[in-house]
Chain A
Amino acid sequence: MRIALFITCLNDTLFPDTGRAVVRLLERLGHEVVFPESQTCCGQMHYNTGYRRDAQKLAVRFVKTFDDADVILAPSGSCAAMVRDNYPRLGAAGSRLQRATTALAPRVHDLSELLVDVLGVTDVGAYFPHTVTYHPTCHGLRLLGLGDRPYALLREVRGLELVELPEARECCGFGGTFAVKNPDVSAAMGADKARNVAATGAEVLCAVDNSCLMHIGGTLDRQRAGVKVVHLAEILASTEQEPAQL
């Protein structure tokens, strides 16, 4: 299958390892991946902070970039949710933007949905000999409804021991500009999440969104908790021949 990658601006700039892992994983599974270079950002930050017009422009760019793609992968739960749930609300009812985004929305997938629902695999032949705990992220949990998919994928990884995260459904407190506008509450939420992560005794915290991982990971680092944060893609791309670097 030919899969168009929407790597997202944060992954592109700060977490290129995630994008490389996605490419390695999908090619290993025998698929063709393309990266339409005119892509930039989904506009989630603009939209969520109240700058709809700026978000609209980025949505127009997104539509142009991905219009002819059949399957679009966004290795970020919140960006996938932005395109799928919020884009159709960006344009006025009946507008061109609304029609275009509504048509595009069902073709956008998070990594776990792409693998489980579209490609029909849970065992991707990965090897990752570490104890891992999974944070289900708000957008992955409530907007995308990922459910058991990420766990199903992790359970098939050889060498991996999956441990349960207490209070997993709680928000980590990142929330984009929320972390800047309400720093005290955000930090309090982050600290509680980090404490729960540390309590699992896992070596690695996994999620499908690098923004949440950046927030929780930054808090864990500051606390010198010794837990690494790793995107699901990097765990699934990891093999005995080419193990992920922690």
Chain B
Amino acid sequence: MTGTFLGMPTFPEAARAATADAQLRHNLRKATHTIRDKRAEAVGELDDWTRLRAAGKAVKDRTLRHLDHYLEQLEASVTAAGGQVHWAADAAEANRIVTDLVRATGERELVKVKSMATQEIGLNEALEAAGITAYETDLAELIVQLGDDLPSHILVPAIHRNRAEIREIFLREMAAWGTAAPDGLTDDPRALADAARVHLREKFLSTKVAVSGANFAVAETGTLVVLESEGNGRMCLTLPETLISVVGIEKTIPTWDDLDIFLQTLPRSSTGERMNPYTSTWTGVTPGDGPQEFHLVLLDNGRSDVLADEVGRQALRCIRCSACLNICPVYERTGGHAYGSVYPGPIGAILTPQLKGTGGELEASLPYASSLCGACYEVCPVAIDIPEVLVHLREEVASAGGAGHRVEKAAMAAAEWVLDDDRRLGLAQRAVASARSLVPRRLPGPVGAWTDTRDLPDIPEESFRQWWRTREKGKRKRS
């Protein structure tokens, strides 16, 4: 079974271990740099990128503003096309709905298309508790599942693993889950992909229930859309008898026309491709073709609260392309596990604390997991101003005054008191200057970490302010 993120340490603690892991740093650097260069090239080809980005943002904003309307429309369209719609307020309710639906089929196994929403609610664990086995069919998800590991990237959940590690996992674990890895398996990517293909094929052909997520849900027609690279998704979406799609309410878009924008921006932003290899769409059921039973579980799980926050709501525009992860210098050095949640990287740093609230220690540490360099905002295809939301959430954390923030608040207030009066600032500067010979190269206490790897600058004898004053006096005397 797959582990859980529960009980994760705060970001700085998890990051300390990650930054010290040379192999991990190497794997991540290589992967993120390759994909970011590819993205830059694919985006650079379009001369209307800025317009596409603005259009994507506008569509999402408009949909979010009238989400109640579009959701009702979506429900009506899905129902009219022969599907059934279920509403889930939180993870527990969503898991219960899916479990009951699977039980009703009499099956104990199902195949899954990679889906963030089902990871968010811990569906696999809930199904396991109910005696149902869920098989992940996305190659990277399969690696994570077989390795009893946690995903560390939105698009490439096993980004933290290299070929040699994957070979070992396949050899060790595949047999227990179904078709074993072939003898003499090498760590050649092709050989690894073939082993996965054979292993998965057996599942696709024998399993009668599938669970998917969706990248988009078109309200106008009730059509769900999945973009993927391997074709495993298409197998899951067409071969089984029953299909259950768990979709966050924010995935709704009004019309097929709107889809046009995202079919251009999503693949370029995520894999650096002009178009993704497989785009599957399904609308209700079609007699005699594909799944004969279709259920759409619409998931809230904190999204309505995010929607109510004027600054934070832009996070719901996210189309999970992962461009922000790949460009983020912090993610590059820590990997996804340090973020302790399904959504890692810059988007995770704002989405997780918003969906779960900033009460927990991990959630309260996430808004600080950024140097505010702005690279994430620059690449985001729907222009989510992640730094703005980070600062907004920091405000929430700081004003709650939790662990460590009381001292910080006092220090900030003291600094503000000095800075709110130029005479006080001048006095403070003189005090610092007169003690300059006493300031050690390495500082004690919480700011000591700064001087562990850096030397402090020399403190000058005279501030600019003092110099200016002396100069002005001299000028006046002369004139």
- Contact surface of A with B, Cβ cutoff 8 Å: 7, 9, 11-17, 19-20, 23, 35, 37-41, 43, 45-52, 54, 57-58, 61, 89, 138-139, 142-143, 169-171, 173-191, 214-215, 217-219, 221-222
- Which residues in A have their C-beta under 8 angstroms from that of B462? 16
0/1 interface trace, chain B 446-479, chain A, CB 8 Å (1 if under): 1101101111110110111101110000000000
Check A142/B452 contact, CB under 8 A, given A49-B394, A178-B372, A186-B371. Answer: no
A7: which B residues are within 8 A, CB to CB? Answer: 464-465
> For chain A, what secondary structure do more than half of its interface residues adopt (helix, strand, loop), or is it mixed?
helix
Give chain B residues whose Cβ lies under 8 Å from the Cβ of A51: 395, 398, 409, 412, 416
Can you list 6 A-B contacts (CB < 8 A)?
Answer: A16-B467, A41-B419, A46-B412, A54-B416, A142-B375, A178-B370
Is the CB of B273 closer than 8 A to any CB of chain A?
no
7 smallest beta-carbon distances between A and B, as pairs: A175-B371, A50-B394, A218-B454, A183-B449, A171-B373, A50-B398, A19-B464
Closest A residue, CB atoms, query B377? A142
Contact B15 A214 (CB under 8 A): no
- Check if B415 sits within 8 Å of A46, measured CB to CB: yes
Residues of B within 8 A of A12 (CB): 425, 429, 463-465
Q: Which of B25, B368, B399, B460 contacts A181 (CB 8 A)?
A: B368
Question: What range describes how many residues of B lie at the interface?
Answer: 35 or more
Whether A40 pairs with B425 at a CB distance below 8 angstroms is yes
Q: Is B373 a contact partner of A184 (Cβ separation < 8 A)?
A: no
Q: Nearest Cβ distance between residue A35 and chain B, in whole angstroms?
A: 5
With a CB–CB cut-off of 8 A, which chain B residues contact A89?
388
Whether B31 is near chain A, meaning CB under 8 Å from some CB there, is: no
Quick check: B12 and A184 within 8 Å, CB to CB? yes
From B333, B399, B467, contact of A188 by CB (8 A) = B333
- List 13 extra interface pairs beyond A40-B420, A138-B375, A183-B12, CB under 8 A: A12-B463, A12-B464, A15-B460, A35-B464, A46-B412, A54-B416, A173-B371, A185-B330, A187-B452, A189-B330, A189-B371, A190-B454, A222-B455
Of the residues B393, B446, B454, contact of A215 by C-beta under 8 Å: B454
Residues B398 and A14 in contact, CB atoms below 8 Å apart: no
* Known interface pairs A41-B419, A173-B329; A188-B463 also in contact (CB < 8 Å): no
What separation, in Å, do the CA atoms of A9 and B422 have in the docked complex?
10
- Contact residues in B for A47 (Cβ distance below 8 Å): 391
Which of chain B's residues have a CB closer than 8 A to the CB of A23?
468
Q: Please indicate the chain A residues that have their CB under 8 angstroms from the CB of B455 in the complex.
A: 217-218, 221-222
Q: What residue in chain A is nearest B416 (Cβ atoms)?
A: A54
- Contact present for B457 and A14 (CB under 8 Å): yes
A45 — which chain B residues lie within 8 A by C-beta? Answer: 412, 415
Whether a CB of chain A sits under 8 angstroms from the CB of B100 is no
With A and B bound together, what is the CA distance between A218 and B454 in angstroms? 4
Complex CA–CA separation, A190 to B11 (angstroms)? 19
* Cα distance A173–B464 in the bound complex, in angstroms: 27
